[in-house]
Structure 1
Amino acid sequence: MPATPNEPVWRQAVAGAQMLLVAFGALVLMPLITGMDPNVALFTAGVGTLMFQIITGGQIPIFLASSFAFIAPILSAKAKFGMEETLGGLAAAGLLYMLLSGVVKLRGTGFLNRLLPPVVIGPVIMVIGLGLAPTAVNMAMGKAGDGSAQLVPYDTAIWIAMISLVTTILFSVFGRGMFRLIPILFGVLVGYVLSAIVGIVDLTPIREAAWFGLPNFVTPEFSWGAILFMIPVAIAPAIEHIGDILAIGTVTRKDYLNKPGLHRTLLGDGVATSTAAFLGGPPNTTYSEVTGAVMLTRNFNPRVMIWAAIVAVVLAFIGKFGAALQTIPVPVMGGILCLLFGSIAVVGLNTLIRHQVDLAEARNLVIVGVTLVFGIGGMALGHIEGIALCGLVAIGLNLALPGSQAAWGASAASKGDTPAAE
């Protein structure tokens, strides 16, 4: 039976902890890859979700946490500007959501169909996944994400990575009920145990960490270079946001684009992202895994997400918990990421297929082809590169090149896609 707001508080809390468990794997993997503190990520996910629920009036059963779309830009920005200025750029990226929220409030959602048709959305999402493929493969082979150092011997790393990957695949394909929603967690657990057996897990950080303490918050710094580099990246997560809001509306049979309104959900996402950056956490995005859990459990009560957020905030202050997360060996993460990043790319491909984008039409072929090469190849124009550049190029080409709108594919917003994975 669907839950009601009047159900006992303890049941809401348990259901909230269950929702956090579903989001947990992706939530902590993202900061581990980018060098951020997973405890800070837990804290900012919780606070961001609470802010989102306040701004939207507590009407939508949705959870916000670490966005995978920002992994490659964060790694690039860290190398160029340092972590503090990267965080400043991420805080500014959140402002783009707020600006888009204002435009939606003034003009409605119709302009999004013209600005972000499937021929734009599909290749941008594919770039998010395929652009990260080298990072996953390097980690699976025991190297640092950029391939600069061999952290674990190859022979050991590749076996651990493949076993972690196979475990994740088996649970995602053959799992039943809630087990199917947490394959990442099982992949990490099996890989971690195997890593401990072969002796590549260093437990020293866990022993040295305090049981309780403040997360390692980091204060951002601001530079125009980092801001201009990061702001365009927010285009892809904005696309994802719209799809996730439509998806959860399909599950609960409510039109959240009208009530509380897309302008309020975008504002909530933007505030959550900027707040996370001001504390040193990764940018937030709506989590489609949690939408899947809502569909499975039929628990449509938004208060459950508030409890999930509270549990996340509490876990953030357990020092040994965060230290344990940081001891997850590189090949464990790499094996699982081979599936996660590939899945993101497939979602982009499916967007083109579902909406019957005519790639025999020259304009569409140009948009998809140039977007993929620019994004995956790492093309740079000034301070803009990668996902940010390919997103702007896709939008610009779509607006500039003539052609029949029917051949671009029906709007993803009109069909309720969930355009990207976290």
Structure 2
Amino acid sequence: MGKEIIQVDQKVPILKGIPLSIQHMFAMFSASVLVPTIFHINPAIVLLMNGIGTLLFILITKGKAPAYLGSSFAFISPVLIILADKTKGFSHALGGFIVVGALICVLAIVIRFFGTKWIDIVLPPAAMGAVVALIGLELAGSAASMGGLILSDTYKAIDWRNVVVFIVTLAIAVFGSVLFRKFFSAIPVLIAIIGGYLISWPLGLVDVTPIQKAPIFSIPNFSTPVFDINSIIIIVPATLVIVSEHIGHQLVTSEIVGRDLIKDPGLHRSLLADGISTMLSGFCGSVPTTTYGENIGVMAITKVYSVYVIGGAAVFSMVISFLGKVTAAIQTIPSPVMGGVSFLLYGMIAASGLRILVDAKVDYSNSRNIALTAVVMVTGLSGAFIQLGSVQLKGMALAAVVGMVMSLIFYVLDHFHLTNDYEE
């Protein structure tokens, strides 16, 4: 007999709902905290805004679309470019986040009035899956760098302690996802962070001073945005990735829960919620949000789709954001630990892009599909760039633009029956 299915709109008894909500929180926790850790900002504000964003998402989608809004990985590369400029800081990136959120809201309004058929023209699955995969693949080098496996500005030489912590953390995450049972099978990444953290202590890689100085309770650090045109230009192209990822996640979730979420509550509602959440995060000093694949995976494993459970996870996230010593402890996690975890997480993100290709049953005997995926992937990984004034458009952002242009050209060629698909 299979697992009991708890549907999207089904309420769960509180004694059962609490552990299920904690499970969802654990699923998003590691990845969501990783982003602010990379940006060197306090994770507390991110946990707070992620929780608020998730509750807004549930409200705007009328409780019909189960999704957790966590920290988006799509903005890591552009934000690091901004932070590399010593004249700028994270506040300059916040202005870009707000603009991106506004653009997503505009797109949601366009979809509301013009429908969703145009999406398959501009970003067909062969291009969309490749773009989502690039989110993880483009960041693979930074995972190795955090782990101390390659020489960088941070690590001038390979330290065996970093390598040990990295390998142990990665091993726990990988084998835990395969071997852990029941509740623990849903939180191998969190267990890996704890394991790596404990291993780091006797190796002298943990500084507990911030924990000792932190108060038990604290108010998350809010900060205001700076609207800088150059920073905005760097950030805005990631909008393409966010939208692609969002649509892909909604399609995958639709298959899992057995409902067409693109039609009901509608892609316009879920995108609007994502856009508003990202704008709100920008105004408060947090990072952009996106629907989380980790939580989609939890739903697939547990067969629990209830928005009430996900809403409970959002509340737990908000509560944790006010616990000063907990957030301080998170900030003391050594880079090799986060490197080991991100090694797997980035691969999981890349795999989610491949899943879009598989679920959409992309036919690679069709020349245009293989050309779309091939060119998008190579563009994103080749290091190619386009110079726009003082800004470089490269990586996944450039790949998304190239994919859209190619898709539109193929559409025009099809319209005039010029492709060899029409050859007898």
**TM-score normalised by the chain length of structure 1:** 0.88
Structure 1: give runs of 5+ residues left out of the alignment. Answer: 409-422
Moved more, 166-175 or 151-160: 151-160
How many angstroms apart in 2 are the aligned matches of 1:76 and 1:378?
Answer: 16
Cross-structure match for 1:311: 316
Moved more, 66-75 or 38-47: 66-75
Structure 1 residues 160-202: Cα deviation after superposition (integer angstroms, max 9, x where no partner): 1011111111012223333232221121111111101212110
Structure 2: give runs of 5+ residues left out of the alignment. Answer: 420-424
Cross-structure match for 1:12: 17
Using the TM superposition, give the Cα deviation of residue 227 of structure 1 relative to its aligned residue in structure 2, in angstroms. Answer: 1.8
Matched, 1:385 2:390: no
How many angstroms apart in 2 are the aligned matches of 1:378 and 1:135?
Answer: 18
Structure 1 residues 26-77: Cα deviation after superposition (integer angstroms, max 9, x where no partner): 1111211222221111001101001111111122222111111221122112
Using the TM superposition, give the Cα deviation of residue 218 of structure 1 relative to its aligned residue in structure 2, in angstroms. Answer: 1.6
Q: 1:121 to 1:6 in 2, by over 3 A?
A: closer
Aligned counterpart for 2:371 among listed residues 356, 362, 365: 365
How many angstroms apart in 2 are the aligned matches of 1:370 and 1:242?
Answer: 18
Moved more, 229-238 or 195-204: 229-238
Cross-structure match for 2:82: 77
Identical positions, percent: 34
How many angstroms apart in 2 are the aligned matches of 1:339 and 1:229?
Answer: 27
Cross-structure match for 2:211: 206
Q: 1:305 to 1:351 in 2, by over 3 A?
A: closer
CA RMSD of aligned residues (A): 2.6
Cross-structure match for 1:177: 182
Using the TM superposition, give the Cα deviation of residue 328 of structure 1 relative to its aligned residue in structure 2, in angstroms. Answer: 0.5
Aligned length: 405
Q: 1:197 to 1:261 in 2, by over 3 A?
A: same
Using the TM superposition, give the Cα deviation of residue 360 of structure 1 relative to its aligned residue in structure 2, in angstroms. Answer: 7.6
How many angstroms apart in 2 are the aligned matches of 1:158 and 1:326?
Answer: 20
Query: Partner amino acid for 1:115?
Result: V
Aligned counterpart for 2:247 among listed residues 242, 248, 256: 242
Using the TM superposition, give the Cα deviation of residue 12 of structure 1 relative to its aligned residue in structure 2, in angstroms. Answer: 3.1
Using the TM superposition, give the Cα deviation of residue 349 of structure 1 relative to its aligned residue in structure 2, in angstroms. Answer: 4.3
Using the TM superposition, give the Cα deviation of residue 351 of structure 1 relative to its aligned residue in structure 2, in angstroms. Answer: 4.3
Cross-structure match for 2:93: 86
Using the TM superposition, give the Cα deviation of residue 237 of structure 1 relative to its aligned residue in structure 2, in angstroms. Answer: 1.9
Query: Partner amino acid for 2:95?
Result: G
How many angstroms apart in 2 are the aligned matches of 1:366 and 1:247?
Answer: 21
Q: Flag as ranges the 4+ runs of structure 1 deviating above 6 A.
A: none
Matched, 1:36 2:41: yes
**TM-score normalised by the chain length of structure 2:** 0.88
Structure 1 residues 223-244: Cα deviation after superposition (integer angstroms, max 9, x where no partner): 2222222122021121221222
Matched, 1:123 2:130: yes
Q: 1:243 to 1:356 in 2, by over 3 A?
A: closer
How many angstroms apart in 2 are the aligned matches of 1:95 and 1:359?
Answer: 39
Q: 1:218 to 1:143 in 2, by over 3 A?
A: farther
Aligned counterpart for 2:403 among listed residues 382, 391, 394: 394
Alignment of 1:294-373 (within 5 A): 294-349=299-354, 351-352=356-357, 355-358=361-364, 361=367, 364-365=370-371, 368-369=374-375, 371-373=377-379
Alignment of 1:94-243 (within 5 A): 94-141=101-148, 147-150=152-155, 154-243=159-248
Aligned counterpart for 1:46 among listed residues 48, 51, 58: 51
SS in 1 for 2:98: helix
SS in 2 for 1:285: strand
